[in-house]
Amino acid sequence: MAKIFIIEDDDFLNSAYEIKFKALGHDVHIETTGEHVEDKIKEVKPDIIVLDLILPKINGIEVLKRIKKNDSVSKIPVVISTNIGFADDIGECVALGAVDYFIKSDIPLDKLVAKIIADINPENN
């Protein structure tokens, strides 16, 4: 199954993600801050990254910029899962290379998990 790298600072949501993804047989790696994630991503070699925009110290847009500038991790699909729904933020994330953007308060967790899994191999959908 897939390796899923989650960058999210909400412990409750991280636990929920971990339970859901592991129940489906996926390997889950969680970070609660955007600091130094490029090196951690290189170690884990995930199939997809789930990124929140509101993070301590470094915001998710900056993390996305760093991921997409780093040749060794730039091709890994990044899904934005956040409660920020401003058109400017959505547009910037898409322009930077995010493959999907979800407002997590607008979608049930089961559907969010299913959409993230679908984004791992979109050509199979």
CATH number of the domain enclosing 118: 3.40.50.2300
Residue at 94 is within a domain:
yes
How confident is the prediction for the chain on average, in pLDDT?
A: 93
Q: What is the pLDDT of residue 123?
A: 58
17 pLDDT band (50/70/90 cuts)? very high
Number of domains present in the structure of the chain: 1
Q: Would you say residue 15 lies in a domain?
A: no
Cα–Cα distance list, 75 to 17, 71, 105 (Å): 23, 8, 28
Q: Is residue 14 in a domain?
A: no
- Host domain of residue 100: 3-9+23-124
Q: What digits encode the pLDDT tens for the residues 49-108?
A: 999 999 998 999 999 999 999 999 999 999 999 998 888 989 999 999 999 999 999 999
Q: How far apart are CA 57 and CA 51, in angstroms?
A: 14
